[in-house]
Structure 1
Amino acid sequence: MFYTYILYSKTRDKYYIGSTVNLTERLKKHNTNHSGFTGHTGDWHIVWFGIFDNLRDARIKENQIKKWKSRVMIEKLIASTGL
């Protein structure tokens, strides 16, 4: 299985969108102290995820969400699934 996911950080009041094959391990990496966008925060949590049969479909969904460039659209997606 492959996942597209949205993380939220209360500290930064930001969302992060990504895709992975292992959601649990990827979240752990986001919450480590590293130099990337999600580094140095440590409070990222999953607010939405979709499950896909292949990486290509997961990446297509990831790119679709990123192209929205709209916090409102992202929050509507999150609210529609009730995680």
Structure 2
Amino acid sequence: MYFTYILFSTKTNKYYVGSTDNLESRLRHHNAGSTPSTKSGSPFWEIVYAEQFEDKSLSLKREIEIKRKKSRKYIQWLVQNQSGFGG
């Protein structure tokens, strides 16, 4: 299984979009400050949204789709309108 996920940091009030095959491990990685783009929000990242995919390429495609919108409002809409964890 692969996931496209959205994190939120209460420290920076920012969202981060990514993809992985292991949500728990990836969240620990972000909160450890090991990812340059999320280091400033550590250790306060939490998973607020995730979609599950059978295929890595579909997960990456969805990540890019969300990022291309360049819209905080769209991300907030996704988070608020998800039907349970997993999109």
Write the distance in 2 (CA, Å) between the matches of 1:22 and 1:3: 8
What is the CA distance between 1:34 and its match in structure 2?
Answer: 3.2
Q: Which amino acid aligns with 2:60?
A: R
Matching residue of 1:75: 76
- SS of corresponding position for 1:58: helix
TM-score (norm 1): 0.93
Q: Deviations over 1:27-67 (max 9, x none)?
A: 00000033601114210000000000010000000000000
Calculate the aligned-residue CA RMSD, in Å: 1.3
Matching residue of 2:62: 61
Aligned length: 83
Unaligned runs of 5+ in 2: none
Structure 1's consecutive aligned runs of 4 or more residues displaced over 4 angstroms after TM superposition are none
Within a 5 Å distance, the mapping from 1:45-60 to structure 2 comes to 45-60=46-61
- SS of corresponding position for 2:60: helix
Within a 5 Å distance, the mapping from 1:4-83 to structure 2 comes to 4-34=4-34, 36-40=36-40, 41-81=42-82, 83=85
Percent identity between matched residues is 39
Stretch moving more, 11-20 or 38-47? 38-47
